[in-house]
Amino acid sequence: MSKNQGKLFVITGPSGVGKGTLVRSLLSAHSQLFVSISATTRQPRTGEVDGKDYYFLTTAQFESMIEEENLLEWAQYAGNYYGTPKQAVLEQINQGKTVILEIELLGARQVKENFAQSQLIFILPPSEEELERRLRGRGNDAEEAIKKRLARAKEEIAAQDEFDYKIVNDQLESAIAQLEDIIFGKQEVN
């Protein structure tokens, strides 16, 4: 690894654990960090901008990226593809930048397989009860969806030992400080 080689951090955790909030807070305090933009075949939601929120691709475009191995990771959900384009991430790392990926468990495993130097960070809820409270507090999921998210969360939490670092997102400021320590090199690998 060259002296000015950047780093890749993958942030994962169950739905409702606060990954998005942590990443947004980290970015607002550290503009030098680069967050990878995912590609998807789903239709843009109101207000979403191509190249800012996601790269919105056709199924043919996405499948071509899979065939040409131009994705660090990818998965299919509800009939749509989601993935991380490899080129932009590698360009940033080669320029010495620190790149953050906020993705789900299967994607994190693929990234570790495809990019061994990546550092995986798992965000945990303080408790299952708190995670359920947070999911219900969003107010935008039906009961069946909440139950599915909680069941999936248990599976994801069971995989936490695959990660280099674990952070319990109990107090936002404390979780951000721990993330900063990991990303800026003040904390040792578990």
Q: In sequence order, what are the residues at sequence separation of 6 or more whose Cβ sits closer than 8 angstroms to the Cβ of residue 149? A: 14, 15, 16, 135, 141
The answer to whether residue 1 sits within a structural domain is no
Residue 108 has pLDDT above 60, yes or no: yes
pTM of the model: 0.87
Contacting residues for 188 by C-beta, under 8 A, at least 6 apart: none
pLDDT tens-place string over residues 143-176: 888 898 899 999 999 999 999 999 999 999 999 9
User: Can you give the residue range of the structural domain that contains 179?
Assistant: 7-183
The CATH number for 13's domain is 3.40.50.300
- Give me 63's structure tokens: 């499948």
pLDDT at 190 over 60: no
Task: State the total domains in the chain.
Answer: 1
In a domain, 129, yes or no: yes
Using an 8 Å Cβ cutoff, are 114 and 4 in contact? no
HEC string of the chain equals CCCCCCEEEEEECCCCCCHHHHHHHHHHHCCCCEECCCEECCCCCCCCCECCCEEECCHHHHHHHHHCCCEEEEEEECCEEEEEEHHHHHHHHHCCCEEEEECCHHHHHHHHHHCCCCEEEEEECCCHHHHHHHHHHHCCCCHHHHHHHHHHHHHHHHCHHHCCEEEECCCHHHHHHHHHHHHCCCCCCC
Give per-residue pLDDT as tens, 44-99.
988 999 998 899 999 999 999 999 999 999 998 778 999 999 999 999 999 999 99
Let me know if residue 70 belongs to a domain. yes
Q: Is residue 2 part of a domain?
A: no
Please state, rounded to an integer, the average pLDDT across all residues of the chain. 91
> What pLDDT score does 171 carry?
94
pLDDT-above-90 percentage for the chain:
76
Instruction: Give the C-alpha separation, 44 to 180, whole Å.
Output: 32
- Position 189 in a domain: no
Residue 136's pLDDT band, with cuts at 50, 70 and 90, is: confident
Please indicate, yes or no, if residue 188 is contained in any of the structural domains. Answer: no
Residue 190 lies in a domain: no
Q: Please say if the pLDDT value at position 187 is more than 90.
A: no
Confidence (pLDDT) at 78: 76
Residue 25, domain member (yes or no):
yes
